[in-house]
Chains A and B, each alone.
Chain A
């Protein structure tokens, strides 16, 4: 189905040249037949269309008008199928291809020969399944599957993609618990906690799943150890595997650098390293070339016939299925039939196994659903020709193409709950955390007094401290230095005041006196605040005493805390946090959008379709700008309601600036994603590129004018600097658009620079 969809997408604009790169790899025979029928009809309808196909299936190649046989980047032969067959004097293309290969590749190759299976008692059963059923929600992946596999047998599982082969195998290995039914391995009922049976089974999964970070040798040793082979036995066993599976010359290589065929051999070696009696192989040869596949089968046959290992293998290659002692044909979760390949062909009255299988499939499909012939797919008749899509002349910028990218992003986010929730709730959560966490208020500091004087004056001094509202909280008094040391060391006290003996007397006699204040300096910022508070209270006390004796002081200073008269940390933090999050989160989300396509391969659409880089990037960007603005509204709403930070200036001025700023932050995200290759890298890049300049150099705590050198330069050109000023201006300073022009203009200037850079750096071709 997926392949058909891919074909439809490629055909949507009626191309004259169609390129198909292995369009049917991993597709079951019936679907393949249907796919090629579809192509044949298309060709009949549009004779002017040329098609170039790459394939590894020789039976498909048979049908093509003209063939190019290739190996290792070189052309081996060209011509139509009969010509190639004649040239190589072979009767099948498979054989012809092998014959065409250069000598060194063919070395050691000989056709498969399978010795007959020695007679085995029907009671000697290696695997038995009874009524196995697996449901995922409403979907039934495996539907009452039963079979018995005798010891030493090669048993094949043949079926279309998604028919439940892999699921059945996973149930047998204990990876998945069956919803219903029972299964036995080597006489033991399958139980994921049964470690002893696991030691007797080897498993190889559909995709290569060994450690890419470990060398070939390390992989073998690790698995031998994990299966708890005896310590002295491991080196010999590993050597044995290396020889048997021809891995000698790649021992110290990483699997990633090896060709697929060698990796497949390594997987099998690993699955065999602990001498299992039973091998479960899930499509071990898909994607492997014919020669390597045959090599692989030589090994399997040897294991089965010589070592009497039971092999349970799934495949979608007909010629592989033919080599099995018995096969089960699966479709839509059900086993259609099980028998020897020859018997199945005979039952169906077919000429080949493939034909028999297609017969079984068609039979099953007819009973499944009302007959839907694939003819329904073709609806366009020649009379429709006028209404056909005519390719417009290529324009430089198309709104339609741009909007379709925007739409694509919307759909994607809707289907990814983790990203969607981060996109919407993330900013609110982080806003709460940062606003509470980065508090500049220092309150409720714990202190205690060591009063060695105990006079009215010392009591008065102590009272003066405890009377100061919410700065300090008094703890139980101290009695000696040891206690002072212990309680400060545990962090209980932030401040200890020591009033020395004779303090009251000295003050009355106007002698010089001193009070000691011990401050916990572990947190310097807090210590500085404490210092300030204590000094202030001390001055106050002094002044109170002086006024009694000396008259008023020389001058006083009236503090006017502007914009935030109650000096609340929240009122100062919230207007700064909003721009910070409006920068970081949209940048991160946008950064993922392009790299994601790179990682998934869908970026190829940018390379092969007439979409321009601008349409591609701007389309995506518009969506994230919209998202950023939703976030802006949510955060502003939270600020004025939950946090109770009043907005004194013009909301519309702030909204306009936020819009410009969102364009900038998403642009930075695009920039990060055009120059990186992996999603993780893009995310880190976006985070570091936004968070550090915004928090360190943009006037979040200290204004840019207080910075030096490079920091100051960055602060002056970084757009966040201006957004902080605007946000604070609107929230706290009652400013309107007219006052803010000076900050808005530099931001506007940076928009074309950032977006332009992102577009320029995005490659229109793969590197």
Chain B
């Protein structure tokens, strides 16, 4: 009991230290408000103003029809170019798409020869190339088909494919972007806050002071973990309430309590990691750089930005060791698909395991390192 009060008191001290560090406060507020809002709105909606050019060698009513079917917001108004200008334009990156309508296109269509249009795509722009391609296909084919239908009756049966997106029917990017930003920020902030708290004590020489007092390294570390974890959890709860639900009017389907419980469990891992990095670094800048090296892989390969299944197998397997992978899975299940504990208990267990292992490693390292601090 005595030990617990001690850890509690030391943690309270961390709050005071944080309160008097304006840079960190600004960072916390920024990360959970502006950054969340920015990631929500910055993700490009499917296709926006894709630059397209058309080489019209046919000059027929049908080709005019096709040309007029491309307009903003999905496409820019098409630029009319000649065949010889196409390569230079693509090389310079002026257009992502160049559609070539060949000679006698309309005649061949009406004659039933199935003429081919050529669509040149700058595949170095992956995202536009992918999503734009199917748009161009749909637009052109529907124009051609309506045109043809005026001349002949079609008797093909309509087998419809009814597409329904579950959990996010409108496929709204902002919803995904904002929630994943929060999930990423939990990891980011807990590493920074605990690491910075330890480095600050080292730079000011106060850690030495703590160590001559009747306090053990475990207690010092636990105090930092609980206090900084609490700050992050509070910020997450506020951000979910005011930014996602309030400002962005986004639906948060699942149980926020369950998500926060998962986050609390996850926090053990990155806070321990923060302490570990702080023992490796001699000062703040070194800590900042180490953090960039650790944090980017943890976040980018966790599945919060791009789906895990499209990463190489080796990467997928290595990332199973990272806490972020499981936290992202858990968060997506709870926040997007309203999963209950029955569905995500496995991730909870794995997080607990990874967290305990990381905590023990960091503690061992911390004990060893403080001898050199003094």
With known contacts A175-B374, A443-B310, A706-B49, A418–B204 Cβ distance under 8 A: no
Knowing A205-B208, A521-B168 are in contact, say whether A226-B214 is a contact too (CB < 8 A): yes
Q: Is B257 part of the contact surface with A, judged by Cβ < 8 Å? A: no
Contact A214 B16 (CB under 8 A): yes
- B208:A517 contact, CB within 8 angstroms: no
Within 8 A of A (CB), among B105-155: 105, 108-109, 112, 114-131, 133-134, 136-137, 140-141, 144-145, 148, 154-155
A residues 694-745 touching B (CB-CB < 8 Å):
696, 699, 701-703, 705-708, 725, 728-729, 732-733, 735, 739, 742
The contact string, 1 if C-beta is below 8 Å from chain A, for chain B 294-313, is 00110011000111011110
Q: Known contacts A560-B118, A569-B126: does B212 contact A201 (CB below 8 Å)?
A: yes
Chain B: minimal CB distance from A660 (Å): 18
Q: How far is the CB of A755 from chain B (nearest CB, A)?
A: 23
Q: Per-residue 0/1 for A215-246: is the Cβ within 8 Å of any B Cβ (1 yes, 0 no)?
A: 00010001101111000000000000000000
* A596, B285: Cβ atoms closer than 8 Å: yes
Q: Which residues of B sit under 8 angstroms from A569, Cβ to Cβ? A: 126, 310
Q: Which of B2-10, B228-236, B260-268, B356-364 is the contact stretch?
A: B2-10
Residues of A close to B85: CB separation below 8 A = none
* Cβ-neighbour of B125 out of A419, A426, A572 (below 8 A): A572
> What per-residue 1/0 map shows which CB atoms of A539-552 lie under 8 Å from chain B?
00010011001111
Q: Report the Cα distance A522→B141, complex, angstroms.
A: 30
Q: For residue B87, which residue of chain A has the nearest CB?
A: A562
| B19 located at the interface, meaning its Cβ lies under 8 Å from any Cβ of chain A in the complex | yes
**Are A433 and B93 CB-contacts (below 8 A) given A514-B160, A515-B162, A522-B336?**
no
Q: Are A703 and B121 in contact (CB-based, < 8 A)?
A: no
A575 contacts partner chain B, Cβ-Cβ < 8 Å: yes
Task: Point out the residue from B20, B128, B144, B213 that lies within 8 Å of A703, measured CB to CB.
Answer: B128
Contacts of B208 in A (CB 8 A): 175, 205, 209
The yes or no answer to A604 lying at the interface (CB within 8 A) is no
What is the CA–CA distance of A555 and B63 in the complex, to the nearest angstrom? 12
B211 within 8 A of A: yes
Count chain A residues whose beta carbon lies closer than 8 angstroms to a beta carbon of B.
136
Interface pair B126/A567, CB less than 8 Å apart: yes
Cβ A557 vs Cβ B116 within 8 A = yes
Interface membership of B321, Cβ < 8 A: no
A446 CB to nearest chain B CB (Å): 7
In the complex the two chains form, is A176's CB within 8 Å of B307's CB? Answer: no
Question: Interface stretch among A14-22, A346-354, A391-399, A483-491?
Answer: A483-491
Beta-carbon nearest neighbor of B51 in chain A: A705
Given A536-B134, A553-B114, A560-B118, A524 contacting B124 (CB threshold 8 A): no
Asked if B28 lies at the interface with its beta carbon under 8 angstroms from chain A, I say no
Given contacts A437-B300, A555-B117, contact A491 B333 (CB under 8 A): yes
Indicate if the CB atoms of B124 and A701 lie closer than 8 Å. no
Chain A proximity mask over B204-221: 1 for CB below 8 Å, otherwise 0: 111011111111100000
State the CA gap A728–B122 with chains docked (Å): 11
State whether A489 and B337 are in contact (beta carbons under 8 Å apart), knowing that A514-B162, A557-B137, A557-B141 are contacts in the complex: yes
A218, chain B: closest CB distance, angstroms: 7
What is the CA–CA distance of A757 and B50 in the complex, to the nearest angstrom? Answer: 35
A149 contacts B by Cβ under 8 Å: no
Contact among A209, A416, A433 with B206 in the assembled complex (CB-CB below 8 Å): A209
Asked if B285 and A554 sit within 8 Å, CB to CB, the answer is no
Residue of B nearest to A529 (CB): B130
Chain A residues lying within 8 Å of B16, measured Cβ to Cβ, are 211, 213-214, 218
Which residue of the partner chain B has the closest CB to A589?
A: B289
Task: Determine if A445 is an interface residue (Cβ-Cβ < 8 Å).
Answer: yes
Residues B213 and A198 in contact, CB atoms below 8 Å apart: yes
Does chain B have a CB within 8 A of A148? no
Establish whether residues A226 and B10, one from each chain, have CB atoms under 8 Å apart when the complex forms: yes
A554 with B114: CB separation less than 8 A: yes
Q: Hey, which chain A residues are within 8 Å of B114, CB to CB?
A: 552-556
In Å, the complex CA distance between A673 and B76 comes to 40
Closest beta carbon of chain B to A207's beta carbon, Å: 5
| Residues of chain A with a CB closer than 8 A to B156's CB | 542, 546, 549-550
| Minimal Cβ-Cβ distance residue in B for A557 | B117
Q: Which residue of A lies closest to B174 (CB)?
A: A524
Residue B61 interfacial (CB < 8 Å): no
| Given the contacts A512-B158, A739-B91, A557 and B119 also touching, CB distance less than 8 Å | yes
Whole-angstrom distance from the CB of B74 to the nearest CB of chain A?
A: 10
User: Which of chain A's residues has its CB closest to B145's CB?
Assistant: A554
Instruction: Let me know if B42 and A728 touch, CB within 8 A.
Output: no
Task: Tell whether, in the assembled complex, residue A433 and residue B333 are in contact, meaning their CB atoms are under 8 Å apart.
Answer: no
Please give me the residue from chain A that is nearest to B10 by CB atom.
A226
Q: Does B343 contact A (CB under 8 A)?
A: yes
A437 and B124: CB pair below 8 A?
no
A561 contacts which chain B residues (CB < 8 A)?
Answer: 121, 123, 129
Partner of B115, one of A170, A520, A555, A564: A555
B140 touches A557 (CB 8 A): yes
Chain A residues whose CB sits within 8 angstroms of the CB of B289 once the complex forms: 418-419, 422, 426, 588, 683
A254 touches B20 (CB 8 A): yes
Determine if A429 is an interface residue (Cβ-Cβ < 8 Å): yes
Q: Which residues of B contact A113 (CB under 8 A)?
A: none
Interface residue? A519 (CB, 8 A): yes
* Best-surrounded residue of A225, A513, A522, A681 (most CB of chain B within 10 A): A522
Q: A195 to B161, Cβ gap below 8 A?
A: no
Assembled-state Cα–Cα distance A397/B108 (Å): 73
Q: How far is the CA of A565 from the CA of B120 in the complex (A)?
A: 11
In the complex, chain A residues whose CB is within 8 Å of the CB of B216 = 193, 195
Complexed CA–CA distance, A66 and B92 (Å): 75
Select which of B144, B284, B309 is within 8 A of A555 by beta carbon.
B144
Q: Is A264 an interface residue (CB 8 A)?
A: no
Q: How far, in whole Å, are A696 and B42 apart by their CA atoms in the complex?
A: 8
- In the bound complex, do residue A555 and residue B109 qualify as a contact, i.e. CB atoms below 8 Å apart? yes
With a cutoff of 8 Å between Cβ atoms, the chain B residues found around residue A223 in the complex are 213
Given the known inter-chain contacts A214-B17, A429-B297, A433-B297, please indicate yes or no for A527 contacting B165, CB distance below 8 A.
yes
- From A419, A491, A522, A701, contact of B127 by CB (8 A): A701
Residues of A158-208 whose CB lies within 8 A of B: 170, 173-177, 192-193, 195-196, 198-199, 201, 203, 205, 207-208
B183 to chain A, nearest CB (A): 12
Query: B285 → chain A, closest Cβ, in Å?
Result: 4
Candidates A518, A527, A546, A565; contact of B123 at CB < 8 Å: A565
Residue of A nearest to B158 (CB): A512
Of B212, B283, B337, the contact of A491 (CB 8 Å cutoff): B337
> With the chains together, A277 CA to B91 CA distance in Å?
82
Closest A residue by C-beta to B344:
A490
Q: A278 CB to closest chain B CB, in angstroms? A: 12
Tell me if A78 is interfacial: C-beta within 8 Å of chain B.
Answer: no
A354 to B119, CA, bound (A): 93
Out of B123, B129, B215, B339, which one reaches A490, CB within 8 Å? B339
Say whether B214 contacts A195, CB under 8 Å.
yes
Q: What B residues does A443 contact at CB under 8 A?
A: 309-310
Report how far A22 CA is from B112 CA in the complex, Å.
97
Give the distance in Å from the alpha carbon of A564 to the alpha carbon of B129 in the complex.
Answer: 11
B91 CB to closest chain A CB, in angstroms? 5
Q: Is the CB of A563 within 8 A of B307?
A: no
Could you write out 7 A-B pairs with CB less than 8 Å apart? A203-B212, A436-B312, A513-B159, A515-B159, A523-B176, A525-B306, A571-B123
The 7 A-B residue pairs with the shortest CB-CB distance in the complex, in nearest-first order: A437-B300, A521-B165, A209-B205, A521-B168, A522-B336, A564-B123, A175-B374
Other CB < 8 Å A-B pairs besides A440-B306, A742-B92, 10 of them?
A174-B212, A175-B208, A175-B211, A440-B127, A441-B310, A486-B343, A507-B157, A529-B130, A555-B144, A556-B115
